[in-house]
Amino acid sequence: MTQYFAFNGDADGLCALQQLRLAQGSEGQLVTGVKRDIGLLRRVQAGPGDRVTVLDIAHEQNREDVARLLQAGATVRYFDHHFAGDLPSHPGLESYINTAANVCTSSLVNDYLSGRHHRWAIVAAFGDGLAELGQALAEQYGLLPKQIEQLQQLGLYLNYNAYGERISDLHFDPAELAEALQPFADPLDFIGSSETFATLQDGYLADMARAASLTVWREVPGATLYRLPAAPWARRVIGVLANQLLSQSPDHALALLSSNTAGGYTVSVRTPAHSPLAADAFCRHFPSGGGRKRAAGINHLPASDLMSFARAFERAYGWRADTEFI
């Protein structure tokens, strides 16, 4: 039997993988990529007796490959919190999918493992921009304030590392990062003894210092848009910067657009908790769009669609919003 782990390269995917490997063994082939590379199952060739574990990538974008793997005789174990669409009814599919706004893939794995490696789930929650979930889990398991602060930092840096147009944009290939994390049952030990953590921290601080000079591109009451330059540092910060800006203005929807090498834009969208239109629902109106309720994006927005996107975003999330925006 061959075991495959297909996981998102961000904090949530990494920490979900880490929990399962610590609890059930680390043997298996790793399949991953930059955060927005979510069609990972197309790279998996599995057959009878093989098991494919899928972590933090949307079923909707992997539907055909899930069906292919099941038909080939593999079993598929699926943990995720993104919009899934219709799931197949098949005895080989084991599904743990919950799209509620207050869960992440790592918290689903934490429940599956009865809290066995809960500190990694806390790291993931903070990294995925779910501070309330991270705090709640930390209090549930009795962590001290200093420990919580350290786990929050690690989650932030792991998430930051995943953003980029290609692996060369990142400080670490997520597969290499997974191997660096694997020996550590306690993330605090990783923080205290790994040079990898220091590299991530230094890179994050340098990139965010560059981001401090960004200015608003367009703004209406309730909705703000930023344009980022075509540079690796801008591609790296787009996700964590979106989370940071939302925490500073939680009642405003945000769209960050980073110029990409294809001549268009990569888009990150964040929406307030009270928004009647979820972020993923908005982004799915555009080709290559998706995500979850409060944090979503578009992998490629053609330059010719820039202004129509901006107007649609402002109509959808401005305080005089009309959700019939398309």
Question: Quick one: tokens of 280?
Answer: 């993923």
Sites in the chain below the pLDDT cut of 50: 321-323, 325-326
198 and 225 co-located in one domain: no
Single residue among 203, 229, 252 that ends a domain in this structure: 203
Assess whether 148 and 243 both reside in one domain: no
Q: How far is CA 10 from the centre of its chain?
A: 5
| Predicted local distance difference test score (pLDDT) of residue 320 | 63
Residue 239 CA to residue 282 CA, distance in Å, equals: 17
Please state the domain count of the chain: 2
The pLDDT value recorded for residue 41 is 98
- 35 and 184, same structural domain? yes
Per the domain annotation, does 156 fall within a domain?
Answer: yes
The CB density around residue 303, as the number of other CB atoms within 10 Å, is 12
Pair (304, 173) in one structural domain: no
Examine the domain organization and report whether 110 and 190 are in the same domain.
Answer: yes
Dump pLDDT digits (tens) for 112-169.
999 999 999 999 999 999 999 999 999 999 999 999 999 999 999 999 999 999 999 9
Bridge partners of 290, per DSSP, are 297
- The verdict on residue 138 lying in a domain is yes
* 152 and 258 housed in the same domain: no
Shared-domain flag, residues 232 and 163: no
What CATH number is given to the structural domain containing 22? 3.90.1640
- Could you tell me if 118 and 197 lie in one domain? yes
> Taking all residues of the chain, what is their mean pLDDT, rounded to a whole number?
95
Q: Is 75 found in the same domain as 108?
A: yes
- pLDDT in the model for residue 319: 81
Note whether residue 213 is domain-resident: no
pLDDT at 261: 86
* 159 and 252 part of one domain: no
CATH code (residue 230): 3.10.310.30
Output the six-digit token pair for 52. 């494919």
Residues 161 and 191 reside in one and the same domain: yes
Residue range(s) defining the domain that contains residue 255:
218-317
Q: What is the pLDDT of residue 17?
A: 98
Task: Evaluate whether residue 299 is within a structural domain.
Answer: yes
Query: Which pLDDT does position 321 carry in this prediction?
Result: 47
Residue that terminates a domain, selected from 144, 169, 203? 203
Helix (H) or strand (E) segment spanning residue 13: helix 11-24
Indicate whether 184 and 223 sit together in one domain. no
Domain closes at, from 203, 230, 264: 203
Beta-carbon count within 10 A of 279 CB: 28
The answer to whether the CB of 69 falls within 8 A of the CB of 44 is yes
Q: Within a domain: residue 211?
A: no
